[in-house]
Amino acid sequence: MVSEQTFVVVGASLAGAKAAEALRSGGFDGRILLIGDDPERPYERPPLSKGFLLGKEPKEKAYVHPENFYAEQNIELRTSTSVTAVHRDRHEVELAGGERIRYDKLLLATGAAPIRPRLPGADLPGVLYLRTMADSVALRAALERGGRVVIVGGGWIGLEVAAAARHYGCAVVLLEPLPAPLYRVLGLELGGFYAQVHRDHGVDVRLGVGAAEFRGTDRVEAVVASDGTVLTADVVVVGVGARPNTALAEAAGLPVENGILVDEFLRTADPDIFAAGDVANAYNPFYGTRIRVEHWANAQDQGSAAAVSMLGRGEPFAKVPYFYSDQYDVGMVYSGLLNPEESYELVYRGSRDSGEFCVFWLKDGVVAAGMNVNVWDVHSDIRALIKSRTPVDPAKLADPGTPIAEAAR
């Protein structure tokens, strides 16, 4: 690549930072601009609901790179800077204030934003969300004060915040309108496992119940549940999902559907524009369909992969998604992808009641997904089994004495 070229990355996120890093390590010696509206330099999001929120890890540990990395790598990092438009005809991005920067290749890593329910009182102080470092700092301060916390939503964010709130001694009520936490991800049985984990730690888990209204004068004081129950609250945390930040792409005329549509090389309909991370709805050749993944590993891997594609050396992105979660003394890693409209055979390896087990979702005798809970050093074997698409012997899979890799028929 010639040094006169300029590559612009919009979104100083994990995906964006890993892309900038991969461009330099891949030999690109042109100009790299990494632009983000967050005042912080790029950071990873898992600590925001885990180690940092719990007060167990310093803020510094969340950053993707040391502070001097970008200057040393001659990467122009612009924080607190918004990109307001992409002018594809002129190969320019426009910043708030009117400055325009020409690009040869552009990566959109604009992430996602929390869904904010349109409920009465939703704008009251004390109704919090968790997405940014600033959100985590504010939430941690609120939880450290103790008191009564109502969490709306039983997804990963809601459950991890519930665990953090109990860590600080807060009284916690969790509202989840579906039949179980994580119902769309894990199903009723495994979602029920997580409901019991939280109940065992003192969380009042209320299923089939959502929020209807937030009440308060100067700040939130109560949540009215969908069943009419009024729950007093000093803090409310809303975790009901996220939407991809596609406005920039839409305004530029790029195809968008549940994210920015990209091919297996993470390339949009415009050959000079790519997308990666939470905002990318990417064609995955392994699954033969488009998937959009909002987890840490996907952002990290896609950022690097997009950079290689921008350099003209890309390979199809066909990774099996995975994510992890830590709640109280329960750690897990989940690999694979399930269709919530299909049914699966569940095979357990170890005892669910003991809190140390693996579980596998089988479709037509093949492992579609697997989760290891407080069982370690098996994650790679589970992913390999999924990638192999080899029929397995359920009896061997369930036997802790048989290596997972040997469960294939």
- pLDDT tens by residue, 74-84: 999 999 999 99
Does residue 324 sit within a domain?
no
CATH number of the domain encompassing residue 93: 3.50.50.60
What's the domain range around 157? 116-240
Determine the 3-state secondary structure of 65 from DSSP.
coil
Tokens representing residue 333 in the block: 């890693």
The Cβ of residue 57 has, within 10 Å, a number of other Cβ atoms equal to 13
For 341-391, the DSSP string reads TS--EEEEEEETTTTEEEEEEEETTEEEEEEEES--S-HHHHHHHHHHT-B
Clarify whether residues 300 and 358 are in a common domain: no
- Say if residue 95 is in the same domain as residue 173: no
Q: Are 121 and 132 in contact (CB under 8 A)?
A: no
- Domain end (from 310, 345, 369): 310
Say if residue 252 is in the same domain as residue 108.
Answer: yes
Domain identity same for 342 and 266: no
Q: How do beta strands 83-87 and 235-238 pair?
A: unpaired
Residue 322 lies in a domain: no
Domains held by the chain: number: 3
Same domain, 275 and 191: no
Q: What is the pTM of this model?
A: 0.94
384 found inside a domain: yes
Q: What confidence tens digit (pLDDT) does each residue in 358-388 have?
A: 999 999 999 999 999 999 989 999 999 999 9
pLDDT in tens, 47-68: 999 999 999 999 999 999 999 9
Task: Flag whether 334 is in a domain.
Answer: yes
Q: Are residues 24 and 74 in the same domain?
A: yes
> Same structural domain for residues 105 and 136?
no
In a domain? residue 136: yes
Note whether 23 and 91 are same-domain residues.
yes
Give the mean pLDDT of 144-153: 97
Domain termination residue (choose one: 184, 206, 240):
240
